[in-house]
Structure 1
Amino acid sequence: MAVTAVSHEGTKSIASWGAVLSMALCVALLIASEFMPVSLLTPMAEGLRATEGQTGQAISISGLFAVAASMIITTAAGTLNRKWVLVAMTAFMLVSLLLVAVAPNFAVLMLGRALLGICIGGFWALATAVIMRLVPESEVPRALALMYGGQAIAAAFAAPVGSYLGGLFGWRSVFWALTPIVAVNLVWHLLALPSLPARQRQDVRTMLGLLKRPYFLRGLVASMLSWGSAFTMFTYLRPFLELVTGADVTTLSILLLVLGCAGFVGTWASGRFLSGSVAPLLRLPALLMGGCTLGLLLLGGSVVAAGVFLAVWGAMNTAMSVIWMTWMSQNADDAPEAAGSLMVAAIQASILLGAVVGGLLLDGLSIFATFMGSLILAAIGVALIGNGRRLLKPE
């Protein structure tokens, strides 16, 4: 009997980590799909006869719908099995990519991006809660790091490969290339994810209850400032590298590859060293990424300097997700789906506002104004977080 039990648990453990890997691939595809316009901003703007600032709104529109979807998904899904909700979100991503690839005009592009936003909001709202059900509590940070390894993969290869292939074959071919991979991931979800019946019905009152907790509300605002700062800069990174650093397509691809590969370091470090209290780590993303933005403003004319700052930025970008989602899992463990909805809404709202404000600053003033806006948000975030202790639930 003991041998049978051990064998069963071992099989269950392997199956659970297979499901985590399936979610990691989905994360990679979501990140690649959401932020591919960053590496293709200039050719997409030319192809759709729009300004770069307007095309940047392709990211903000997906963020807008992601905010809405993340707020309603746990309520709208009701008692639906969470496995099938995740499968549906992945199917939405596939349809979105097809719409963007064939978009004859800006309106159809926005429609495809809106559908992607629904997928992003729905998936992320449930992702951490699902991870908490797939693995033991002690393994949650490791599983989160593994899942966000998909973010590192996308950051490492999606932008530079997208930029390179877009230069060779046109930006539409990049979105076409993603569709068969999403189809494979859809099948993997069906095979790897276990049945995940809804444990309890979430509603608006649960979310409001979380917002009434001062430590959670403070952390939510701090996370918004961290992501808002990051994506005010990142959304318009290509124009900066072209105008200030003087990067051609090849150099641009190399710099984006450096940024993305550094993400593996951030994912590895966060999974290996994140244990115990997360408080001391909460301010690191805004502090270091804001410092990198300042460095680019001062020394961004040098390709070497730009590469160094982007490497540090890329490592903290992936670590930021693991740090803040671990904070959520530890400080809202009694309502993980509601907390996930709020966190995703906050993050996507920040990405949306970052893209909008950054685009307005770019079109109205200059790329330097866009990066200064990012720096200001980072400084406010660091000040709010402090030593991180005020963001922890009372013991």
Structure 2
Amino acid sequence: MNDVCDSALAAERAPDISVSTITKSGTDKPAIPLVVYCLSLGFFALTTSELMISGMLPSLQLAFDRSIADIGNLISLYAMGMVVGGPLVTILFLALKIENKRGLLFLLIFYALAQSVAASTSNFEVLMVARVVTGMAAATSFGLMLAITAQLVDPSIRGRASSLVFAGLMICTVFGVPAATMIDHAFGWRASFWAIVVLVLFCALVIALKIETAPEGKAADLRSELKEMARPKLWAAYTTSALVIGSSFAAYSYFSPIMTELSGFTSAQVPVLLAVYGAGNILGNYIAGRFADRYTFKTLATGISLMVFAMLLFACLPQSKIAAVAAIIMIGLTGIALNPALVARVMRIAHPGALVNAMHASVINIGLAFGPWAGGLAISSGLGLNAPLFVGFGMALAGLLTILPRALRNV
């Protein structure tokens, strides 16, 4: 009953749907417009741009004559831009009353320009600045993409629609980063950067042609969005998201050395296992998206519980190949694959505007940065190579505790 009330309230607060129809022909079932898949492609392009540095370290090190650590910082700079710049840029857009579609188009074009500078430069400092700037644009773009998705679909299927948008992130880990690495090997690192420019501009073109601009007076209002941000339940939901995503990356960041040095897999087998993990992300994202709208807390409770068990299993039995494979599959099916349910929870608590979603992306990135850092600190403190798995277990357990009381009430 509460789910129905929440959906009705969300529908009452939601802006007008900006597509001509939201139902499948001949039925009354809400449909997801094809343009949502373009927004998924946008997620794919921007997250591939963030993470592809990991597969291009040797090329960039050679091109700029920098250490591996310096090149690795290019990922951190992008994330830092997302954490700090995303909410600030979003607040600026709201203060200027820039409508969501226009704001997203501006950001995507700006992103393409900044990425073009990164692809063209031979100056490492310029590349660093470009990474921060593109990170800022990406975070705000994510918020606007999710806000537009919420406008395009019926409130009853926002979680499912969000899962399609987030599928771009999942596919990035399986295809995007490997593809960028292959392009780098075949044509050089600059070609990978230019490929992102082409994808981003294509998304901008489709959005310009296929998404209607909100009517006059429908632009988001800064005061109302800041009022939404004052909800304590919203920050509780943000905390859960940060803990869950941070937990998954605390483990994922150290999968390779754990699998080779503790579990006994060969280096040649690691990419296969990571592909299995990525496939689990895609499947888990699909499953979570199907249940996120009607069973938000049950989906979260089930997924995080499985994640807690998998982390503990892997941490306690890292020498067992069977336990390692089982844990990798379970962590793949949960973790970042729970994003649709995490987003659905946020959208039930607050109006799904750009600031709410941009802040969600920023908080998630804080968790994403904290998990690997805490895992690395645990290793350097002499707690063993499996210590990041215990860190992941602790973060996942904390995330479970934040939603367990509500889940037990069958809300």
Question: What is the match of residue 153 of structure 1?
Answer: 171
Change (3 A) 1:55 1:328: same
1:106 CA drift (Å): 5.0
Question: What is the match of residue 264 of structure 1?
Answer: 282
Question: What is the match of residue 191 of structure 1?
Answer: 209
Q: TM-score scaled by structure 2?
A: 0.78
Work out the CA distance in 2 between the residues paired with 1:272 and 1:379. 24
Unpaired runs of 5+ in structure 2? 1-19
Instruction: State the Cα deviation string for residues 125-167 of structure 1 (Å, max 9, x = none).
Output: 2232211211122232221122122223213212344455556
1:325 CA drift (Å): 0.7
Q: Secondary structure in 2 aligned to 1:17?
A: coil
Instruction: State the Cα deviation string for residues 225-260 of structure 1 (Å, max 9, x = none).
Output: 112222233344445455555666653332232222
The counterpart of 1:75, out of the listed 88, 91, 98, is 91
Contact persistence 1:59–1:355 (CA under 8 A): no
RMSD of aligned residue pairs (Cα, Å): 3.7
Question: What is the match of residue 343 of structure 1?
Answer: 360
Question: What is the match of residue 233 of structure 1?
Answer: 251
Contact persistence 1:258–1:311 (CA under 8 A): yes
Work out the CA distance in 1 between the residues paired with 2:256 and 2:110. 28
Q: Is 1:278 aligned to residue 292 of structure 2?
A: no
Contact persistence 1:233–1:370 (CA under 8 A): yes
Q: Is 1:50 aligned to residue 67 of structure 2?
A: yes
Contact persistence 2:99–2:218 (CA under 8 A): no
Q: Is 1:203 aligned to residue 222 of structure 2?
A: yes
1:102 CA drift (Å): 5.1
Question: What is the match of residue 4 of structure 1?
Answer: none
Change (3 A) 1:163 1:391: farther
Structural mapping, 1:280-295, within 5 Å: 280-295=298-313
Change (3 A) 1:75 1:287: same
Work out the CA distance in 2 between the residues paired with 1:244 and 1:169. 36
Contact persistence 1:83–1:195 (CA under 8 A): yes
Contact persistence 1:361–1:370 (CA under 8 A): yes
Contact persistence 1:20–1:143 (CA under 8 A): yes
Question: What is the match of residue 180 of structure 1?
Answer: 198
Change (3 A) 1:213 1:79: closer
Instruction: State the Cα deviation string for residues 189-248 of structure 1 (Å, max 9, x = none).
Output: 2222221357354336743x4454332222222222112222233344445455555666
Q: TM-score scaled by structure 1?
A: 0.80
Unpaired runs of 5+ in structure 1? 1-7
Instruction: State the Cα deviation string for residues 5-36 of structure 1 (Å, max 9, x = none).
Output: xxx64799999713211101101112212222
Instruction: State the Cα deviation string for residues 350-383 of structure 1 (Å, max 9, x = none).
Output: 2233354455556675654444333322222222
Contact persistence 2:99–2:220 (CA under 8 A): no
Work out the CA distance in 2 between the residues paired with 1:43 and 1:301. 34
Question: What is the match of residue 111 of structure 1?
Answer: 129
Query: Mean Cα displacement is larger for which, 241-250 or 30-39?
Result: 241-250
Q: Secondary structure in 1 aligned to 2:213?
A: coil
Structural mapping, 1:343-382, within 5 Å: 343-358=360-375, 367-382=385-400
Contact persistence 1:157–1:260 (CA under 8 A): no
Work out the CA distance in 2 between the residues paired with 1:15 and 1:378. 34
Contact persistence 2:311–2:389 (CA under 8 A): yes
Contact persistence 1:70–1:121 (CA under 8 A): yes
Query: Mean Cα displacement is larger for which, 369-378 or 139-148?
Result: 369-378
Q: % of aligned pairs identical?
A: 23
Change (3 A) 1:324 1:305: same
Change (3 A) 1:195 1:390: farther
